[in-house]
Amino acid sequence: MHHIPQTLDEALEILNNRHYQVIAGGTDIMVQYRSWSETLPKLNKPLLFVSQIPELNFINESDEFIEIGACTTYEHLLNSPIIPKILKDTIIDIAAPGIRYVGTIGGNIANASPAADGVCTLIALDALVEIVSSETFRIEKICDFITGVKTTSLKPNELIRSIRIPNMFHEHARFYKIGGRKADAISKVALASVCNVSEGRITKWRLAFGAVGPKVVSLPLIDEKMVGKTVEELKETIESIQATYAPFIKPIDDQRSTAVYRKEVALNLIKGFIESL
């Protein structure tokens, strides 16, 4: 039986009893389980609908975090004054308005596609996910929560409750989406890049690459090496910076692009970002 719970507690209680396929906006699920037109989707588990749950639809701001309910739609985020510009820039490049009115930020994370643009930017912003079950509560970095292609650490009785983005101002924050066309395209490669500079020196540096590995590629240890350098130093050493990231960018050939193209463009985008500083 499918369920449409009205509260978070009710949803978590239902999840304790048996396995469900959780569905929020359905923009991934309905594609994955599509079947012959006018027939029902080929589901292997009953559905638990969550997007109507009020406790999963909110945007809050504290000094520490911007917190977004898991079922907040892209369109809702676009219209919020609290949401960082880089996330809005990312959303504008996702799919088309029809999808953005139903697709949710939590669904984008739970689907764990390596080409998910939203995930890419959230990881560059060091975002966290808050995961709840009827008994437990845990917080995990998104880059750890997603464990591989379409896999996460989410247990069958858990739900993503919210996403927490550290409430920081970023002087330079850019999302680069390279898709087959300008709208309604899945990324061939993407880069979310964030940087702060104080008195000419880098104080924060984060890069997250989409569609170049089994999950979004985030390399905090390499990122940290940029901190303390001057912008001029970065600009003078673009090639060596590219070289430090290069071994970790391991894309594949598929129907959308080639591994060599993805790798080269990912590295070129680092150059593009540094030159824009």
Partner 1 sequence: MTDITNSIPKLDAKDKLSGQALYVSDIQIDGMIYAKTVRSQIVKGKIINIDIPFLPEGYFTVSRQDVMHKNVVKIIFEDMPYFATDEIHHLNEPIMLVVGPDKSVIQSIVDQIKIEYVTEIGVFDDRDAPVAYSFKKGNPKKVFSKATQVIEMNYQTGLQEQAYIEPQGFVAYEEGEKVTLIGSIQCPYYVKNAIIDALGCEPNQVRVIQAAVGGAFGGKEEYPSLIACQLAVALKKVHKPIKLIFEREEDILSTTKRHPSTIHLKAALNELNDVVGLSADIRIDGGAYIGLSSVVLSRAMIAVSGAYTIENIQVEGKVLRTNTVPNGAFRGFGAPQMIFAIEMFMHHIAKETNQDAFAFRMRHLARQGDKTSTSGVFRDPIILEDLIRVATEKSKYHSKALAYSQTGIHKGIGMSFFLHGCGFTGSGESTHINAKVKLFKTEAGLVKILVAAVDMGQGIRTTLPKIVSSILEIPIERCIFDYPDTDFVPDSGPTVASRTIMIVGGLVARAAKELKETWIENKEQSVIKQYVQPDYIKWNEKKFKGDAYPAYSWGVNVVEVAVDPLTYQTKILNVVSVYDVGKEIDERIILGQADGGIVQGIAYGYLENMVAVDGKIKQKNLTDYIIPTALDVSKMSTYIIDNPYPLGPYGAKGAGELTLIGGAPAVALAIEMAVNKKITKIPVTPEYLMELMHHDD
Give the binding site for partner 1 (CB under 8 A). 35-40, 96, 178, 180-186, 254-258, 260-261, 264-265, 268-269, 271-272
The residue whose two tokens read 């089994």 is 214
Q: Which lies closer to partner 1 via its Cβ, residue 160 or residue 208?
A: 208
What whole-number distance in Å separates Cα of residue 273 and Cα of residue 269?
6
Q: Closest separation between CB of residue 66 and partner 1, Å?
A: 29
Q: Which lies closer to partner 1 via its Cβ, residue 77 or residue 191?
A: 191
Q: Closest separation between CB of residue 202 and partner 1, Å?
A: 21
Q: Which lies closer to partner 1 via its Cβ, residue 224 or residue 275?
A: 275
What whole-number distance in Å separates Cα of residue 20 and Cα of residue 158?
11
What whole-number distance in Å separates Cα of residue 89 and Cα of residue 66?
17
Q: Which lies closer to partner 1 via its Cβ, residue 139 or residue 183?
A: 183
Kindly state the tokens that stand for 49. 């609908």
Instruction: Decide if 131 contacts 137 (C-beta within 8 A).
Output: yes
User: Given phi > 0 = left and psi -120 to 50 = alpha, else beta, which region is 144?
Assistant: alpha
User: Given phi > 0 = left and psi -120 to 50 = alpha, else beta, which region is 210?
Assistant: beta
Q: Closest separation between CB of residue 174 and partner 1, Å?
A: 13
Q: Closest separation between CB of residue 232 and partner 1, Å?
A: 21
Q: Closest separation between CB of residue 59 and partner 1, Å?
A: 28
Q: Which lies closer to partner 1 via its Cβ, residue 62 or residue 255?
A: 255
